[in-house]
Structure 1
Amino acid sequence: MSADITGSAEASETSVSFREALRFWAKLGFISFGGPAGQIAIMHRELVELKHWISEERFLHALNFCMLLPGPEAQQLATYIGWLKHGTRGGIAAGVLFVLPGFLLITLISVLYVKFHSVGPVEGILFGLKAAVLAVVIEAVVRIGRRALRNRCSWIVAGLAFLGIFVFAVPFPAIVFAAAIAGFALHRWRPQWIAADASAPGPTMPVALASPGRTLRVLVVCITLWAAPLLIIYSVLGSSHVLMLEGLFFSKMAVVTFGGAYAVLAYVAQEAVTGYRWLSADDMLQGLALAETTPGPLILVLTFVGFLGAFNHAAPFDPIVAGLLGAFLTTWVTFVPCFLWIFLGAPHIEGLRRRRALSSALAMVTAAVVGVILNLAIWFGLHALFGSVRTWKGFGMTVALPDAASVDLAAVAIAAASAVALLRLRAPMLLVLAASAGTGLILKGG
């Protein structure tokens, strides 16, 4: 397979042995801090500037393709480059090693969390991290908003998406679908309204199209791997067990997670906390804080959610065993589809990227994501800064309202200081989180 992929590589690209590539992908899995932007920057520096494994043009070409896909773009970019250099085995190695260290660490943290999170020093550290996460999410709103909201139309879509999810509890997949339809419609009837949003097709490269036989093999293998754990769970535990519900829910998330982890977390929080009641709002906040401080894709916070959901509804298993099964299952159904998108779609990327209608649809989806992340910021803010939050319902609306008397001034101070450090001082995120954890330990760890 690798011959038809690498045959068009530019002369400036350096060949590399599979063993050397394995060493790099393993290393990357341990140093991939900083969210998708930091992870992509690390790969660009190492693979383009230092090692010359891939040209600047081809790197950007691959990145643009991965940005069109649901799921974590940094992990998919690693999978794509691994596939480009060594075919299917290279893509599997790169994608798995990018996720594996973070998965193991998050799973270990999940076990420690359910055993020791009520210990004073641990509570203090988690308190500080929880407040700092609010600043991290606000910084994500600002960063993505600057890129996505380029004209009045995109601002309107972002505003409607925010109102839909915050006020009317519209499901995130419905918002993504509506935004995509709006993008297609605007491209068809009012293209001048979104001309600044739709990205122009990038430089083309000759890439051999996959044969129908190969496409069928990829579909059969990946879908079988994706569905096998769910079929086993269904046959043994039935359709209503928490593991089956988690598998189906996070499989759906794998298909609609356009816009990165922050966008989907709003919907996950909405469903996992208030819908399925797998974990508390406080657990969700602390899970995100923990995921921010570990390597790997931020979407690995879903591993934490899967662990706690199964741990809290463990029968007929021991709670820790159930939690481990939930963590593995959630991670499996989240990332197996990523390999399907890359192995199936990469040979056709030129045709996809030349379709301006698709670019217009994705531009509107990205705009909607800004509104969804703003909802996430407010949701986090309410639960991080106030001890009591009530829900008001009426006229088809559902709005969360804080009790002003329950405000935690220490949390407000940590969140404000973190926001200044991130947005004004451009301080490294890990440094901000470490300082916040230390402050929380001092204030609440006694």
Structure 2
Amino acid sequence: MHGLPSEPSTTAPAARAGDGPPPTPVTLREALPVWLKIAALSFGGPAGQIAVMHRVLVEERRWISERRFLHALNFCTLLPGPEAQQLATYVGWLMHGTRGGLVAGGLFVLPGLVAIMALSWLYALLGSTGPVAGLFFGLKAAVLAIVLQAVVRIGRRALKGPAMVAIAALAFVGIFAFDLPFPAIVLAAALAGYLGARAGLPAFLAGAGHGGAPADDPGPYLLGDDAAASGAPRGHALRMLALWGGLWLAPVLALLALLGPDNVFGRIAVFFSQMALVTFGGAYAVLAYVAQQAVDHYGWLRPGEMLDGLGMAETTPGPLIMVTQFVGFMAAFRQPGVLPALVAGTLGGLLTTWVTFLPCFLWIFLGAPHVERLRGNRALAGALAAVTAAVVGVILNLSLWFALHTLFAQTRAFSAGPLRLDVPVLASLDPFAAALSVAALAAVFGLRLGILPVLAGCAVAGLLLRLSGLV
């Protein structure tokens, strides 16, 4: 769950209603290059992507008011999936209806899709060679520092009061020590927050105020032809469910019918469709569950390869959750059946992207006309605050999982009753990985360098270590 980053001002004069006449309405064709620009600049995770959209849409173009942007963002944080991509879809829908939403949301995903697919091919063909392995050796250290930074940032915002700290701690213990499934943790936290806020308990109301735009907010400057400003037409929900639900689930059902549930494509379709329903809290939260399932349950990836994939997603434009395309690619690449391995991998990656991102359009097109009904709902805000707190614990688990597999070459399983832990073999500590990780942490927390400089520096350091024969 990510709020608006601190960079943009919430009182930008150009974005306030009443500061002169609004700009002339634009056509979808005129908006297309702007959405391309936003897509090309969507580096740095959700916070950076939302900051770019705010600067372009609110401050530069004045296509949407400041209050409406914040209200749209709050709505998108309620939804599963990448909120930055959903925010782009929402604004595109407001301006030019369904076509605008498809253009804005689709373009937001397209650069990352192409980049991750190209890198997946490169990784599959050359990932074990010296220079490429060196680059990814360095990226793993940077990714570890970036995930720890995410824990700190989200924790500062989410853990307001003992109740939220307790939820975060229980979520961490549940997933780290008892291997509880991520969806169950999210649902339990949401239920606790909803009931606590509904009962008026102060501990659950603190920090749960997701302020919406006031009723007299002028809203978007440029409303599209079917933006449904007056509410959804009769039968809207059923039509959206039939259309977008069908597009999402038809390939899943077809693959299960033709290939069976044990085929790799059937497993990809079902697993990532399930993820699309529970990806609250951003990519870092769900990646802990994806990593554990892909590595330990399905055997699609080796532990270090999940870190490599996350490094790819960090260095390319688009949503961070695009890393799932790499997971789907490698799963099908290694279990191609009768297909050539690269063809199977490509199809597996595209299938993963389809079932991961298509539901995002369903959520927006289904819920946007009703978004005003969500404003001021205290119980819903309490549920969201509790889920965000649980996400902190889940991301902490992800950071520890990454640390174990970055710093140590070997781990061993420890179990005692319901307790299940991965324990490092201390003798397998990699001193170069440890040194590079410390340097990355110092760059992120001490020097406060951005994501891209840290990733680039660590990748170059890893390459030099590999070429020198030290790793």
Question: Into which bin does the TM-score normalised by the smaller protein fall?
Answer: over 0.9
Aligned residue among 293, 308, 313 for 1:291: 313
User: Cα RMSD over matched residues?
Assistant: 1.4
Deviation larger for 253-262 or 223-232: 223-232
Aligned residue among 371, 395, 415 for 1:349: 371
Deviation of 1:119 (Å): 1.0
CA contact (8 A) 1:205 1:350 kept: no
CA distance in 1, matches of 2:125, 2:260: 29
- Report whether the alignment pairs 1:186 with 2:190: no
For residues 212-271 of structure 1, the C-alpha deviation after alignment (integer angstroms, 9 at most, x for no partner) is 322221111001100121133223322211111111110010010000000000000111
- Report whether the alignment pairs 1:389 with 2:433: no
CA contact (8 A) 2:74 2:210 kept: no
For residues 399-440 of structure 1, the C-alpha deviation after alignment (integer angstroms, 9 at most, x for no partner) is 111011111111111111111111222211101100000000
Deviation of 1:13 (Å): 5.7
- Report whether the alignment pairs 1:359 with 2:375: no
Aligned residue among 433, 436, 457 for 1:435: 457
Pairing 1:66-81 to 2, within 5 Å after superposition: 66-81=76-91
4+ residue stretches of structure 1 with deviation over 4 A? none
CA contact (8 A) 1:157 1:364 kept: yes
Q: Which residue of 1 aligns with 2:158?
A: 148
User: Gaps spanning 5+ residues in structure 2: where?
Assistant: 1-16, 217-228
- Report whether the alignment pairs 1:336 with 2:358: yes
CA distance in 2, matches of 1:336, 1:105: 19
Deviation larger for 167-176 or 50-59: 50-59
CA distance in 1, matches of 2:335, 2:215: 51
CA contact (8 A) 1:226 1:336 kept: yes
Aligned residue among 14, 38, 43 for 2:48: 38
For residues 172-226 of structure 1, the C-alpha deviation after alignment (integer angstroms, 9 at most, x for no partner) is 0000010011112212335212221211442244842202322221111001100
Pairing 1:197-212 to 2, within 5 Å after superposition: 197-205=207-215, 207-212=229-234
Structure having the higher helix fraction is 1
Aligned residue-pair number: 438
Deviation larger for 389-398 or 163-172: 389-398
Aligned residue among 322, 342, 348 for 1:320: 342
CA contact (8 A) 1:218 1:343 kept: yes
- Report whether the alignment pairs 1:15 with 2:25: yes
CA distance in 1, matches of 2:60, 2:362: 30
Pairing 1:201-240 to 2, within 5 Å after superposition: 201-205=211-215, 207-240=229-262
User: Gaps spanning 5+ residues in structure 1: where?
Assistant: 1-8
Q: Which residue of 2 aligns with 1:87?
A: 97
Deviation of 1:155 (Å): 0.2
Deviation of 1:361 (Å): 0.6
TM-score, length basis structure 2: 0.91
Q: Which residue of 1 aligns with 2:127?
A: 117
CA distance in 1, matches of 2:28, 2:235: 26
CA distance in 2, matches of 1:258, 1:332: 18
CA distance in 2, matches of 1:395, 1:42: 49
CA contact (8 A) 2:71 2:211 kept: no
Pairing 1:129-140 to 2, within 5 Å after superposition: 129-140=139-150
CA contact (8 A) 2:70 2:213 kept: no
Residue 465 of structure 2 aligns to which amino acid in structure 1? L
Q: Which residue of 2 aligns with 1:300?
A: 322
CA contact (8 A) 1:187 1:194 kept: yes
CA contact (8 A) 1:172 1:264 kept: yes
Aligned residue among 36, 40, 54 for 2:64: 54
CA distance in 2, matches of 1:56, 1:135: 33
For residues 30-80 of structure 1, the C-alpha deviation after alignment (integer angstroms, 9 at most, x for no partner) is 221010000000000111111111111111111111011110000000000
Sequence identity (%): 57
Report SS of the residue matched to 2:245: helix
Report SS of the residue matched to 2:414: strand
Deviation larger for 50-59 or 87-96: 50-59
CA distance in 2, matches of 1:13, 1:226: 37
Deviation of 1:20 (Å): 1.7
TM-score, length basis structure 1: 0.96
Deviation larger for 199-208 or 415-424: 199-208
